Amino acid sequence: MTLVLAGALSVQFGSAVAALLFPRAGVAGVVTLRLSIAAVVLLAVCRPRLHGRTRGDWVLAGAFGVALAGMNTLFYQAIDRIPLGLAVTLEVLGPLVLSVATARRAASWAWAGLALAGVALLGRAGLGRLDAAGVAFALGAAAMWAAYIVLSARVGARFAKLDGLALAMTVAAVLTLPLGVTAPLLHPPVLALGGAVAVLSSLLPYTLELTALRRMPTTTFAVLMSLGPAIAALAGYLVLGQRLTLTDGLAVALVVAASAGAVHTPRAVRVSGCDPASPLVS
């Protein structure tokens, strides 16, 4: 449990640090730094086999890379415009919808209704007071997160160890490079903070969560990871000074409860060992 919570804290505080870096390097620059550094480290550590891969292997790794690039880019665009806690609350709807769809049980719809109540509460409080583009980016990130989970399962089944992830991360880095290369990425302070973001948001949580998954059921793991919006709200407050209203806090709590309940509901069809809990998310 400690490892999972440490990983979740690392991811969300890494996102808060990334937001601090936006004024210096821009959103695209931060995305490029995070993905490029993570790709270099994964390639060096994993040394994935390149020869003997089928066309299907490369297509799958490429699709996974597109999902990674899209998820990170859209999420960072969102937190540049709306509070971190609310962005993660909207983003987690992607995995939640996927959990409900794959569970195929009546109880799952109750959890979906609870999440909808949370989003409706945000709307009543005034989603209009939030940047419309930020909300749209967060919802786009939610869709990409769901795609990430599905593709992660397929890549995990097709590639040995972390080879598929290393190749996909490389694809993601290459895709985002044209957008971020114009930013002052090589300035020492920017590079240092970019490295911190890569470690906090990708490398450290992945290691912690991979270790945790070997010691606990995936359902328990996913329930703990459902605390993401609450942890993000805490990180946004402590690092960025973002305060949520009482109504916002209640909406976040409803979505957290819905996510935890949905992943705890037995599934008729299991998606993968990475339930709405992915180490490289956000």
pLDDT, tens only, 17-39: 999 999 988 899 899 999 999 89
Find all residues with CB under 8 Å of 66, minimum gap 6, and list them: 171, 172, 175
Report whether 14 contacts 197 (CB < 8 A): yes
- Residue 177 tokens, joined: 């490079």
Q: Give the other-Cβ count within 10 Å of 2's Cβ.
A: 8
pLDDT, tens only, 89-107: 888 888 777 777 766 666 7
> How buried is residue 202: exposed, middle or buried, by Cβ count under 10 Å (0-12/13-18/19+)?
buried
- Residue 202 tokens, joined: 């990708």
Residue-wise over 148-174: b if at least 16 C-beta within 10 A, else e? bbbbbeebbeebeebbbbbbbbbbbbe
Phi-psi region of 52 (alpha: psi -120 to 50; beta: other; left: phi over 0): left
Amino acid at 22: F
Half-sphere exposure of 271 (CA within 13 A, CB side): 26
- Residue 109 tokens, joined: 């719809």
57: nearest Cα among 49, 67, 68, 69: 49
Report whether 18 contacts 198 (CB < 8 A): no
Average pLDDT over residues 223-234: 78
- Three-class HEC string of the chain: CHHHHHHHHHHHHHHHHHHHHHHHHHHHHHHHHHHHHHHHHHHHHHCCCCCCCCHHHHHHHHHHHHHHHHHHHHHHHHHCCCCHHHHHHHHCHHHHHHHHHHHCCHHHHHHHHHHHHHHHHHHHHHHHHCCHHHHHHHHHHHHHHHHHHHHHHHHHHHCCCCHHHHHHHHHHHHHHHHHHCCCCCCCHHHHHHHHHHHHHHHHHHHHHHHHHHCCCCHHHHHHHHCCHHHHHHHHHHHHHCCCCCHHHHHHHHHHHHHHHHHHHCCCCCCCCCCCCCCCCCC
- Residue 73 tokens, joined: 């880019």
Q: Is the pLDDT of residue 212 over 60?
A: yes
- Residue 279 tokens, joined: 């180490």
pLDDT at 279: 39
pLDDT at 88: 87
pLDDT at 22: 92
CA distance 249 to 68: 29
Average pLDDT over residues 123-145: 81
- Residue 85 tokens, joined: 């806690």
Q: How confident is the model at residue 78 (pLDDT cuts 50, 70, 90)?
A: very high
Average pLDDT over residues 66-76: 94
Place of tokens 């993570």: 38
